């Protein structure tokens, strides 16, 4: 058995080898630190399976997967990524991945996924299977981002993550002009006109993690006249905070507005 581990972090590659060497003592391991090395080793050497990180320097994991499947259609590729399943898994499985796992997965889960992929099956976690079933039942209509190419999809996610065109160009090893062209194409395909619309769409469809300051605010208080607690009775933390916030201000103090007290 020959296992190629493609990840740009040496610590991750070393850790994966330690985990898998215990389960597969006769396995021979190879390493690749970027997309170019991965493709070179796949084309020049024979492998039983590839463990592929989704985000490495150079080309995106989506594009590397497509190249691997063109060069070696029967070679199973197990995706191991830091991104949550609902952001990439379905697209990658459609592209031919033998499974998708996050780097938070337990070691025994990784070993089980590897065995299943080598045997010709596909590994899907219970959580992802439930999400995919829900999509089939409740959301048969396709989403606009599903019409994007792999590179356009990657650019969409990077824009929605707040990265400027120049930074995206550096990360993807492209020119600024090329990134701008991808941006124009995906805006046209999705029927949008600016980055703000892309960001809003990406958040709504869980294509990128939502930053803490974008979290939905709690609904406003609707009780127009909360009654103060009776004397001598203790208050909970929330009720004490509410009474303190709603109590009239002393006339000697200037009124202060506290618009974010409920956050």
Burial of 109 (0-12, 13-18, 19+ CB in 10 A): middle
Q: Which residue has the tokens 């829900």?
A: 134
First-to-last C-alpha distance (Å) of the chain: 55
The predicted pLDDT at position 253 comes to 54
Query: For the whole prediction, is pTM greater than 0.75?
Result: no
Q: Is beta strand 28-32 parallel, antiparallel or unpaired with respect to 49-53?
A: unpaired
DSSP class of residue 110 equals: H
Packing angle of the helix pair 35-44, 61-71 (nearest 10 deg): 10
Main-chain dihedrals φ then ψ at residue 117, nearest 5 degrees: -65, -40
Predicted pLDDT of residue 105: 83
Q: What is the CA radius of gyration of the chain?
A: 25
Q: What percent of the chain has pLDDT over 70?
A: 72
Question: Residues of the chain with pLDDT > 90: what percent?
Answer: 36
Under DSSP, the state recorded for 191 is T
- Which domains can be identified in the chain, with CATH numbers? 2-138 (3.40.50.2300), 144-214 (1.10.10.10)
List helix spans (H) across the chain: 10-23, 35-44, 61-71, 85-94, 107-118, 126-138, 150-160, 165-172, 176-190, 195-204, 237-246
Torsion angle, alpha carbons of 250, 253, 255, 258, to 10 = -90
Q: If pLDDT is split at 50, 70 and 90, which confidence band does 120 have?
A: very high
Chain mean position to CA 236 = 39
pLDDT for residue 61: 82
Q: What is the pLDDT of residues 123-164, one digit of tens each?
A: 887 777 766 666 665 554 567 887 788 888 888 888 988 889
79, β-bridge pairs: 52, 100
């Amino acid at each position: 058995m020959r296992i190629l581990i493609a990840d740009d972090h040496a610590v991750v590659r070393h850790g994966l080898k330690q985990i898998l060497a215990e389960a597969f003592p006769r396995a021979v391991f190879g390493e690749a630190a970027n997309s170019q090395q991965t493709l070179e080793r796949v084309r020049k050497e024979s492998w039983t399976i590839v463990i592929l990180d989704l985000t490495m320097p150079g080309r995106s994991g989506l594009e590397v997967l497509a190249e691997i499947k063109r060069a070696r259609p029967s070679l199973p590729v197990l995706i191991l990524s830091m991104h949550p399943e609902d952001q990439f898994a379905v697209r990658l499985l459609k592209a031919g991945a033998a499974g998708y796992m996050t780097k938070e997965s337990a070691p025994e889960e990784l070993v089980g996924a590897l065995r299943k992929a080598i045997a010709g099956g596909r590994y899907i976690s219970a959580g992802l299977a439930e999400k995919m079933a829900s999509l089939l039942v409740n959301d048969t209509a396709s989403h606009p981002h599903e019409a994007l190419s792999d590179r356009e999809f990657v650019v969409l996610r990077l824009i929605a993550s707040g990265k400027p065109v120049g930074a995206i160009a550096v990360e993807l090893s492209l020119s600024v002009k090329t990134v701008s062209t991808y941006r124009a194409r995906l805006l046209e395909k999705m029927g949008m006109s600016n980055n703000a619309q892309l960001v809003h769409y990406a958040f709504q469809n869980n294509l990128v993690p939502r930053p803490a300051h974008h979290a939905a605010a709690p609904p406003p208080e609707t009780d127009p006249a909360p009654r103060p607690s009776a004397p001598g009775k203790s208050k909970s933390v929330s009720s004490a905070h509410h009474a303190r916030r709603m109590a009239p201000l002393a006339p000697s103090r200037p009124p202060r507005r506290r618009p974010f007290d409920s956050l």
